[in-house]
Amino acid sequence: MSVAALTKKILHAALFYEIWDAMKVTFRHMFHKPITFQYPREQRTLPDTHRGALSLLRYDDKRERCVGCDLCEAACPSHCIKVVSAEDKDRPLQRYASEFYIDITKCVFCGYCVEACPVNALAMTKMYEFSTHDKRTLLFDKKRLYEIGERHLEDAKKYLYAHNQEKNVEESREYRYYFPQSVIKPTQSTPKHLS
């Protein structure tokens, strides 16, 4: 071993060079904005396309959008959706979902159901916290899904927009199927693109 090298080694040992060298990373991060955040006190900002809990939506006039067509059930790869449809007693000839269940423990968050929905009644939200003491609460029923929809309406709308499902109102109506309603009393006027 040469003298120079030996001197350097002794000097390093005397001045605790390795320790300072290692601490360099620590000190550098003392002045760095932290990457982690204090979940659950702090929440991450999610992109609009985020696939979180599913929700059911209503039209602006509070009517249920869902027509109970069972297509989400058919599209679901993990078979976590069950729709029971019936004729609406108050509005004859109108089909609606009398019961609607999503087992979110089985859900793989693929978003196929949202894509399958012809009326954009389903949307995904940014809600992702499912921890619970009782797994049974994770079987979302119709009431719960509408509650989620109401609470996360903005996110749900953004999701649909981000996934090209619902543009602005006029466009979206063109995109959607048009259901001829009971003409005992027409409830919808002829859509623009058809008249």
Partner 1 sequence: MGLKPATNPDVEAASIELTIDGKTVSAKDGVSLYDVISSTGKIIPAMCYHYTFDPFGSCGMCLVMQEGKKAPVRSCTAKATAGMVIRTEGEDLFLARKKAVEKHLSVHPLDCPVCDADGHCELQDMAFQHGVTNLANAKQKFIPEDTRSIVLDFNMNRCIACAECINVCKDVLMIDALQFMKKGGFNQVVAKGDLPLSCEFCGDCLAVCPVGAITNKYSKYLYKPWQMKKTTSTCNYCGDGCQLYLETKDSEVIRVTSPLSWKNKWGDRSETAKGHGGLCVRGRFGFEYLDGKSRLTQPLVRENNQLVPKPWLETMHQVVDRLAAIKEKHGSDAIAGLITARCTNEELYLFQKLMRAVIGTNQLDSSARYGHMNFVHATRHALGFGRTPNDWEDLTKAKAILLIGSNLTETNPLTAVRVKEAIRVYNAQVVVLDSAVTNIAKLASHPFLIKPGTESLVIDGLVKATIEHDLIDETAVEKHPRAFEALKSAVAGLSFDHLATQTGISVETYREIAAIMAEAPRSIILCAEGIVRRADGYQNVLKLIDLAWITGKLGKPGCGVNTVTEEPNEQGAVDMGVAPEFLPGQSRYEDTAARKRFGKAWDVTLPTNGGANLIDILKRCKSGQIKALYILGENPLGTLPASMEVRTALDKLELLVVQDPFLTETGRRAHFVLPACTYAEKDGTFTNLEGRVLRVRQAMDPIGESLPDWHIMTALANALGAQWPYESANDIQAEIMKLLPGYYNLGQPRKVTPEPDAYLANGYAVEVKTRYRIAPTTTDPKRPFALVMGQQLTHSGKMSTEALGLIKIAPNTGKLRMNLQDMERLGIQDGSKVRVTSERGSLQLGVQAEASLAPNTCFFPEHFNEPPVKDLMALQVDATTGVPSFKHAWVSIERA
Please give the residue ranges that form the binding site for partner 1 (CB under 8 A).
67-71, 73-74, 85-87, 92-93, 95, 118-119, 177-180, 182-184, 186, 190, 194
Cβ 179 to partner 1 shortest distance, Å = 5
Q: Where are the alpha helices (DSSP H) in the chain?
A: 3-14, 17-30, 71-75, 112-116, 142-151, 153-162, 169-175
Nearest residue (CB) to partner 1, 53 versus 102: 102
172 class by beta-carbon count within 10 Å (0-12 exposed, 13-18 middle, 19+ buried) = middle
Cβ 66 to partner 1 shortest distance, Å = 10
CA pair distance 104, 139, nearest whole angstrom? 6
Nearest residue (CB) to partner 1, 65 versus 126: 65
Nearest residue (CB) to partner 1, 56 versus 71: 71
CA pair distance 132, 118, nearest whole angstrom? 32
Cβ 172 to partner 1 shortest distance, Å = 16
